[in-house]
Amino acid sequence: MIALEGKDLAFSYIDSPVLFSNVNIQVKKGECVALTGASGSGKSTLCHILAGIIPRSIEGNVQGKVFLLGDEIQTLSLVQTVQRVGMLFQNPDSQLFSPTVEDEIAFGPENLCLPREEIARRIAHSLQSVQMSEFRQARTNELSQGQKQLVALAAVLALEPKVLIFDEALAPLDSHHHGLVQEIIQTLKRRGKVILIVEHDPEEIKIVDRVYELRDRRIWEVYK
């Protein structure tokens, strides 16, 4: 089953030249796929399109279609979208807004109007998934960069999306947290999550099944 698919995608920012065109990408259920390319090639932009952030929250000219778990993403509401796909960014400070770890992870489920018991379950489970249970009451601004990234990941997991996009989320991590996040990704994959990882050097990610490269405004499947 194809869980995430971009078909004939092309994009340009307002009053800017075309960033890429004729882009076709597929991620199947149970796969971990890497997306690589030079800086400025459009990797993050493509991820924003696949996650529905463009054009919902960021303006631009998008052509083509994105399918998320079989449905065209433009037919999905924001609530439906965030429950299907979650995205983790390079800088966790851009994703953390609440004073405590618990508040941060509760924010998403609370906005889904879930019952209090379900919110508590999701907080506990997501923290356990990223090995941060002991930091539940910690203040987010007192955490290390690696710990912040784990909390940001826990907040994404609390929405229980089937598809996860890591937009160079491992790049700022020290060796310990880099290895830990790779272990977490392996566990998530075994649990059936669909994973797309953006990385400059896919050789650093030993767990991917396939690799795409954005180059010369096109996308290429470079190796399996």
Q: Regarding predicted confidence, which is higher, 223 or 157? A: 157
Q: Regarding predicted confidence, which is higher, 207 or 124? A: 124
- Above 70 in pLDDT, residue 150? yes
For residues 157 and 86, is the Cβ–Cβ distance under 8 A? yes
Q: Rounding to the nearest 10 degrees, give the CA dihedral for residues 169, 210, 48, 122.
A: -60
Tokens of 15: 């009053």
Q: Strand, coil or helix: what is 212? A: strand
Whole-prediction pTM: 0.94
- Above 80 in pLDDT, residue 98? yes
What residue spans define the domains of the chain?
A: 1-84+163-172+194-224, 91-160
For residues 130 and 154, is the Cβ–Cβ distance under 8 A? yes
**Residue 192 φ then ψ, to 5°:** 100, 5
Closest by alpha carbon to 110, among 100, 122, 96, 101?
122
CATH top-level class of 1-84+163-172+194-224:
alpha beta
The half-sphere exposure of 3 on its side-chain side, counting CA atoms within 13 A, is 20
List pLDDT tens digits, range 63-88: 999 999 999 999 999 999 999 999 99
Over pLDDT 90: what percentage of the chain? 81
